[in-house]
Amino acid sequence: MSEVILKVENMEAHYGKIAALKGISFEVRDGQIVTLLGSNGAGKSTTLKTLSGLMHATKGKITFLGEDITRLPPHEIVKRGIIHLPEGRHIFKDLTVTENLELGSFVLKDDAERKRRMKDVFDRFPILGKRAKQIGGTLSGGEQQMIAVGRGLMAGPKLLLMDEPSMGIAPLVVRDIANIIRRLNEDGTPILLVEQNAKMALGLADYGYVLDTGSIVLDGKGEDLRNDDNVIKAYLGGRKDSD
């Protein structure tokens, strides 16, 4: 069995006096795609924000590659290789594709390595190479998502936190986004995936956790969750997938 790279123990987080996370525990192993499922307000995005330091855990412990990172600020967490791709892409729409990508490597001092990573991004996403000098805001939603992923790759991730990567993407492009996630993982990047498209998420995930109002109420292998009656009723339209 592969090594545990991220371990979350009894993590709580609050918005003022409101408990958004109520003592959740889960793990991500090297080489895995792990998904967090749940309805709006379940605590999925809050979990990613707490892991990346944008919010502080009010209780519990976060361990990454054997180090306690619970109290580290966001820039230190980035340095350790946890890269958060937030919901809504958040590219800089007035900057070029290249400028957006370069912002992902702000902690990198080696220019040669920056160029190597840029080449890797353009090799993965040839359309971005063709539009390297184009203003980011003029690209399609799917292409902007590629910029967001590419910017994350420029940081040299040891773990990618992906929040709703298919949101706002045309249905025909969702399969492309799923393929991007699969290829990233096959190339060695572990991924913690938050995704409203449960069918896509469970089709990709090695393991999954179901969040409900800040608590984990179910977990299991991705395939098992995909065939779980409760998950089917809540997230898969009430019927089992045939594909």
> Do 215 and 169 belong together in one domain?
yes
pTM above 0.85, yes or no: yes
> Do 163 and 75 belong together in one domain?
yes
Confidence (pLDDT) at 207: 98
> Do 44 and 99 belong together in one domain?
no
Residue 76 domain-assigned (yes or no): yes
**CATH number for the domain including 213?**
3.40.50.300
Question: In angstroms, rounded to a whole number, what is the distance separating the alpha carbons of residues 48 and 84?
Answer: 7
> Do 131 and 223 belong together in one domain?
no
Confidence (pLDDT) at 170: 82
Confidence (pLDDT) at 238: 63
Say whether 174 sits in a helix, a strand or coil.
Answer: helix
> Do 46 and 165 belong together in one domain?
yes
Confidence (pLDDT) at 236: 81
Residue 239 domain-assigned (yes or no): yes
CB atoms within 10 A of CB 239: 8
Report how many domains make up the chain.
Answer: 2
Confidence (pLDDT) at 239: 56
pLDDT tens for the chain, residues 1 to 243: 789 999 999 999 999 999 999 999 999 999 999 999 999 899 999 999 999 999 999 999 999 999 999 999 999 999 999 999 988 878 999 999 999 999 999 888 899 999 999 999 999 999 999 999 999 999 998 899 999 999 999 999 999 999 999 888 888 888 889 999 999 999 999 999 999 889 999 999 999 999 999 999 999 999 999 999 989 988 886 655 544
> Do 146 and 165 belong together in one domain?
no
Range of the domain at 139: 93-155
> Do 172 and 207 belong together in one domain?
yes
Question: Which of 127, 138, 189 has its CA nearest to residue 161?
Answer: 189
Residue 218 domain-assigned (yes or no): yes
Say whether 85 sits in a helix, a strand or coil.
Answer: strand
> Do 100 and 37 belong together in one domain?
no
> Do 10 and 108 belong together in one domain?
no
Confidence (pLDDT) at 174: 87
Domain end, chosen from 136, 155, 174, is at 155
Q: What is the pLDDT of residues 154-172, one digit of tens each?
A: 999 999 999 999 888 888 8
Residue 86 domain-assigned (yes or no): no
Residue 87 domain-assigned (yes or no): no
Question: In angstroms, rounded to a whole number, what is the distance separating the alpha carbons of residues 200 and 69?
Answer: 30
Degrees, nearest 5: CA angle 65-218-3: 20
> Do 73 and 166 belong together in one domain?
yes
Confidence (pLDDT) at 228: 93
